[in-house]
Chains A and B, each alone.
Chain A
Amino acid sequence: MIDTKAKKILSIDLSRKQSETKSFADLNTFIGGIGLGLKLYETYKEENPLIFSIGPLNGYFPFVSKTCVLVNNDGVIEDIYIGGGLSLRMRFAGIDALVIYGRSEGETVLEIQNSQVNFLPLQEKINDLGLPGKKSILTFENDKIILDGYFTTPEDFLEQNLKERKVGGIVITGTEIFKPENFLEYEKIYNEILSRSEEMSVERGNYPSCSNCPMGCGKSKVGEIGGNVLIHSLVGCQFADKIYTDIGIVFSCLNVLGYEYTHEDIENLPGLIEKTLKNLS
């Protein structure tokens, strides 16, 4: 069942090797991605967190394939967006955000399946962890983060952060199934959006694609940094801005999944984010 009333957060304390999943109804107004991530950053500020967050449409609709990562870079909170299949796996793991804090004693790999977390010693066979076809693997290759064997990040903020925490990799598997109540309408909207692929402001290519995107463009490999607040709260692809800045489409998607966001919620989002940023500074 889709929980449209609250955000489900998986927090991981590396120092104590403990994890906890909690649902927060009061986080719903932050929608997801950068909005949700910043609010969580404020909540966990004392812990110097690393946050991965997705939006309400990830996993459900085409071109909404990014994962927002908030990371502290020498006192500056950077927001970066990774492609690949991670957002889909987080959706099907049933979590809206992953909050990582503390520091491992030894090099550690986090193996996550839905809400369950295993803290494993860093091993060469990280590719054998998780369930085939339902997992995303974030690991290091030549000092650079590689997601799903191809996608990476702009700059080196995430790499530095994970190294400081002694996290050598994250494997996340999602096995949950969701059934939108009005499935016929959901399928209709899905197909309508997919048919708008020519509105993407990026050329089709022969590169690996993010999950739920047919483009195979050459831009997705290195991810994104900064940009449109609504797109990055949903967390869509910046090259799908013509589609996901169309408020009618956004509401159709949210409504068919059962979300009760209003125009005011969308309009208030930039203000909420600004206020959160002020609190953080």
Chain B
Amino acid sequence: MAKNLKATQEDKCNGCELCTLESQRQLKKVGLEESLIRIFKGESENSYQVEIDPRVSVLDIEKIKSICPKEVFEITEND
């Protein structure tokens, strides 16, 4: 079964971008360009949006999930 990373608790995101930077490190790069996870500032002062490229599933998504300090992510399984 394929595993997917989902931001099920997006409202808890604090914008630290550790997930973005971790996904980039797994691709052996440091930077924000062509990142498979992007964090956008939301409308209100404390809100953020998490955009996940489905191709992130080829990475170590358990590690990405665990690096998030706010437990924003869940890993789901598809048949």
Contacts and interface: CB of A to CB of B under 8 A. Distances in A.
Given A133-B40, A212-B21, 9 more contacts: A60-B30, A88-B17, A88-B32, A148-B41, A177-B30, A177-B34, A180-B30, A190-B25, A208-B45
A178 B29 contact: yes
Classify the interface of chain B: helix, strand, loop or mixed.
loop
A275 B40 CA distance: 43
A209 B15 contact: yes
Contacts of A211: 15-17
A209 B8 CA distance: 19
A132 B16 contact: no
Most buried by B among A60, A88, A206, A209: A209
A179 B28 contact: yes
Contacts, number: 87
Given A175-B33, A178-B29, A180-B30, A212 B39 contact: no
B21 A209 contact: no
Interface string B43-74: 00110100100000000000000010110000
* Size band of the interface chain A makes with B: 35 or more
A132 B40 contact: yes
Contact of B16 (A92, A177, A209): A209
Contact of B18 (A148, A178, A212): A212
Interface of A: 59-60, 62, 85, 88, 92, 132-134, 148-150, 174-180, 183, 186-187, 190, 194, 204, 206-216
Interface of B: 14-18, 20-21, 25, 28-35, 38-41, 45-46, 48, 51, 67, 69-70
B16 A187 contact: no
A174 B33 CA distance: 8
B25 A187 contact: yes
